[in-house]
Amino acid sequence: MKEYIRKYKNWLMLSIFVAATIIALVPLFGVLGYVLKNGLGALNIQFFTNLPKAMGLSGGGMANAIVGTLIMVLIASLIGIPVGILAGIYLTEYDRHSWFSTAVRFATDVLTGIPSIIVGIVIYTAVVLKMGNFSALAGGLALAIIMIPLIIRSTEEMLKLVSHSIREAGYALGISKGKTILKIVLPTAAKGIITGAMLAIARVSGETAPLLFTALGNQYWARSLNEPIASLPVQIFQYATSPYKEWHQLAWAGSLVLILMIIIINLAARFAFRSRHS
């Protein structure tokens, strides 16, 4: 009899877990499926090659927005990845316990949770107003600020996973601390650090709010980094909130492309850096 109750309870708990998992997965696949259904129809070669057309005309594309997103993510990566990784190295290898590193760590945690629109406003005030125009540089800078705390924390976590005995083995061979970190500790953690950076890239490539105030958007090609520039998320926002059916279609197609970009970056992070010997 007791045995029977135990088995019944086991079955009940298992069903609850399975139900919760299904509830979690439904919206996830729902979003993907909905975007796929609405976006696939509008996706064609023109979408990738053409500029947006005037309202009411068909055949427009988002070529400038795709390139704009790539440019701003590139600017953000060029700033955010080195700064984030170097700061992460400093916090783990050189200054783990002082009040300064504790304060920096706390600040990065707070920054990670800050709504991205606030970063946009700050860059708008500090850069856009000072320089007098919206620009790709301002947009990239805003994205970099969102990236940096993410990369600092992931770099830190990955370096902490490298056993202290590996560092000691380096020192014991008469290798200086700097070289031990650069040539032994970093390569050991490289896979995780790169994965962290890729995930940060994936995270910022979908950001909309900070770009509204900084890059603004552009219906044409930007001629320099110092001009307003289009980006996928902002273009999606503008088209989706417009009253035109053609633009709604394009917004769906843009959403699909953006999701695919992020999935590709995620997959690359997962597979590209498998260890070479395994």
Return the structure tokens found at 23: 């509830």
104's enclosing H/E stretch is helix 99-113
Among 14, 176, 263, 267, contact with another protein (rule: CB under 8 A): 176
Return the structure tokens found at 143: 């994205």
190's enclosing H/E stretch is helix 186-205
Residues in 76-115 that interact with another protein by CB under 8 A: 97
Residue 166 binding another protein, by CB under 8 A: yes
Q: Which residue has the tokens 């320099």?
A: 224
Residue 274 binding another protein, by CB under 8 A: no
Residue 187 binding another protein, by CB under 8 A: yes
The site that binds another protein (CB under 8 A) totals a number of residues, namely 23
Report the C-alpha gap between 63 and 47 in whole angstroms: 7
Q: Is 80:148 a contact under the CB 8 Å cutoff?
A: yes
Among 16, 31, 114, 172, contact with another protein (rule: CB under 8 A): 172
Residue 21 binding another protein, by CB under 8 A: no
CA distances from 24 to 17, 18, 28, 263 (A): 11, 10, 7, 19
Q: Which of 156, 207 has the CB closer to another protein?
A: 156
Among 67, 122, 175, 260, contact with another protein (rule: CB under 8 A): 175
Return the structure tokens found at 130: 């000072």
Q: Which of 224, 275 has the CB closer to another protein?
A: 275
Among 9, 183, 245, 270, contact with another protein (rule: CB under 8 A): 183
DSSP summary character for residue 230: -
Residue 179 binding another protein, by CB under 8 A: yes
| Binding-site ranges for another protein (CB under 8 A) | 97, 163, 165-166, 168-176, 179, 183-184, 187-188, 190, 275-278
